[in-house]
Chains A and B, each alone.
Chain A
Amino acid sequence: MSDAYVAQEMIAARPRPNEVRKADWTFARLLGSLSILCWIAAGIGLVVFLITSYDQSQIDKYAPRYFDGFLTTMKLVALSVSIGAVLSLPIAFGRMSSNKIVRNLSFGYIYFFRGTPLLAQLFLFYYGFGSFRHFWQDLNLWWFFRDAWSIALLSFSLNTAAYQAEILRGAIMNVPKGQHEGAASLGLPPMVTFFKIILPQALIVALRPYGNEIILMIKGSAVVSIVTIFDLMGHTRRAFSQTLDYQTYLYAAIFYLLVVEIMRRLWDLLEHRLTRHLRR
């Protein structure tokens, strides 16, 4: 028997290798600290700027207008997202329909609204449709197409409907086939299957994209200020043109950031609550 596998000599224990000392000031840390300093400086600059150019009479004059504009923005977003949600149902189904014509129609609709800028759509609806006054009058619809607010609401609803339809479709496709089969084997009618089984599961998947869509609408709604509506952005631009004071834009920025951030947080809470059964 060879004893080759028996150790012939003992290696003496060596001291632990020197700890690899991280440099105190790595490049990343330097860059990070510098950028933090920049943000702090920018923040202080912003506060100082807002304090030094503080003018009670301007605040008295414009604060109510900003608030009014904020309400207009929120109303526009809430209404168009809700109307869009209703409209998105048939569009999403059309997209998944077995009928080729219906499928192509909804595909065309979605492609148009997702493929063109909201601003161009708004102009098309506002100025473009507005030029057919007699046509609308014959249909007794002129009261609707005359009003900037209803046109804005219409074009925003149609726009978000296209996006929401895609969200919904993606979410419904995401529900496993077994759920359909299970429901069918229980003999549930299609409507009950959809509303009680498929939709609740789909909505959970769609929760995050829906939240993003609402935030996108809050931000995107700023373009209505261009077609004479005094939303938050509209009042901001008007205040800027009257005062020529840059802080009008900064206040608007703070306002929008707060709204979007609060919205995001609320949505996170909502999602946390609604998906509590999925967590282990």
Chain B
Amino acid sequence: MELLSLLSYGSEGWGDEILASIGVTISLALATLPFGLLLGFLLALGINSRESSLQISAKIFTTIFRGLPELLTLFIVYYGAQILGNFLFQTVFGTTIEINSFVAGMVALGFVFSAYASEVFLSAFKGINQGQYEGSAALGLSRFQTMRLVIIPQLIKLALPGLSNLWLILLKETSLVSVIGLADVVRITGVAARVEKEPFLFFSLACLIYLALTFLSSAGLERIEKNARRGEVRS
């Protein structure tokens, strides 16, 4: 019973703090997602491009961010972007810019996410028949229209399983941001563990929270995937 009171809501327990930290974890992951997806898609376009310079620079990007440990990327962005950002803002606007741990986490995780997402998109691109492009050209669609109306709808369906996987990885990797001070689940449960001297209770709770988040997202993703496949013939 005593242990349960530690988890209660209010000033006695950690319930409200932990609930807020779940919000931070989820919002970090959600904020990273669109940024990572867009960058990943652009990277895939770059690697697919006939322009060799574009190919090379997209490949440099993915090599770097798939090769660096996420924790190190986070430190480099957190400290480096601050130095760089201050320098640029100082020279251009004469003020300073604050890059907090949320933004640093978003950028670092987004870079890593996009590097892996570009792979997923690339293999999805391979799954689209050349005839689709030719057909669109025959219909007189512009390149942009082809992309928007013909390719992307098919691409999403092909890329969804891979992207679902990346989302689950992203959700777990947000935990690293606790190291640079963002009050996410691991950070807050860690503080509670130290203050209350109950590390087993609180870190088990942290693991359970992530399991619940993973479970909920997989259920959600399954529905989305089903929805994306609704046009297919059931075998």
B90 on the A face (CB < 8 A)? no
**Assembly CA distance A80 to B206 (angstroms):** 24
Interface size on B, as a range, is 35 or more
Q: Does B173 contact A128, Cβ atoms closer than 8 Å?
A: no
Kindly list chain B residues whose C-beta atoms are within 8 Å of the C-beta of A121: 207
How distant is B183 from chain A, measured CB to nearest CB, in Å? 15
A116 with B51: CB separation less than 8 A: no
Which chain B residues lie closer than 8 Å to A257 at the CB level? 63-64, 67-68
Please determine whether B51 and A119 come into contact, CB atoms closer than 8 angstroms: no
In Å, the complex CA distance between A246 and B80 comes to 7
For residue B133, CB closer than 8 A to chain A, the reply is: no
Residues of chain A lying within 8 A (CB to CB) of residue B51: 26, 28-29, 31-32
Instruction: Decide: A124 and B63 in contact? CB cutoff 8 A.
Output: no
Please, which residue of chain A has its CB at the minimum distance from the CB of B202?
Answer: A128
CB contacts (< 8 Å) of B64 on chain A: these are: 257
How far does the Cβ of B50 sit from chain A's closest Cβ, in whole Å? 8
A contacts with B: majority SS: helix
- Complex: how many Å from CA A127 to CA B199? 6
A219 to B69, CA, bound (A): 4
Residue of A nearest to B215 (CB): A115
A39 with B68, Cβ < 8 A, contacts A249-B79, A249-B80 known: no
B60 at the interface (CB under 8 A from A): yes
- A131 with B200: CB separation less than 8 A: yes
A contact residues around B157 at 8 Å (CB): none
A120 close to B54 (CB less than 8 A): no
The answer to whether the Cβ of A209 comes within 8 Å of any Cβ in the partner chain is no
Asked if A222 contacts B71 (CB within 8 A), the reply is: yes
Interface size on A, residues (CB 8 A): 48
Give chain A residues whose Cβ lies under 8 Å from the Cβ of B210: 115-117, 120
**Interchain CB contact under 8 A, A127 and B72:** no
Residues of A within 8 A of B164 (CB): none
Q: Which chain B residues lie closer than 8 Å to A130 at the CB level?
A: 199
Pick out which of these stretches binds chain A: B11-19, B98-106, B174-182: B174-182
Q: Which of B50, B72, B173 contacts A117 (CB 8 A)?
A: B173
Which residues on B sit within 8 Å (CB–CB) of A129?
200
Tell me the residues in window 101-115 of chain A with beta carbons closer than 8 Å to chain B beta carbons.
111-112, 115
Q: Mark A232-264, 1 if CB is under 8 A from B, else 0.
A: 010011001000001001101100110011000
Q: A29-B51, A33-B53, A116-B210 are in contact. Are A123 and B68 (CB under 8 A)?
A: no
B54 touches A28 (CB 8 A): yes
Residue with the highest number of chain B CB atoms closer than 10 Å, among A124, A129, A246:
A124
Smallest Cβ-Cβ distance to B73: which chain A residue: A253
Interface residues of B in 32-47 (CB under 8 A from A): 46
Inter-chain contact A117/B186, CB cutoff 8 Å: yes
The CA of A252 and the CA of B73, in the complex, are separated in Å by 10
Instruction: Mark interface residues in B132-175 (1 if CB within 8 Å of A CB, else 0).
Output: 00000000000000000000000000000000000010001101
Interface centre among A115, A118, A120, A261 (most CB of B within 10 A): A120
26 A-B pairs in the complex with CB atoms less than 8 angstroms apart: A28-B50, A29-B53, A32-B54, A35-B54, A36-B57, A38-B57, A115-B168, A115-B214, A116-B172, A116-B210, A117-B172, A117-B173, A117-B176, A119-B175, A119-B178, A123-B186, A124-B200, A128-B204, A131-B198, A219-B68, A219-B69, A226-B179, A249-B72, A252-B72, A253-B72, A261-B63
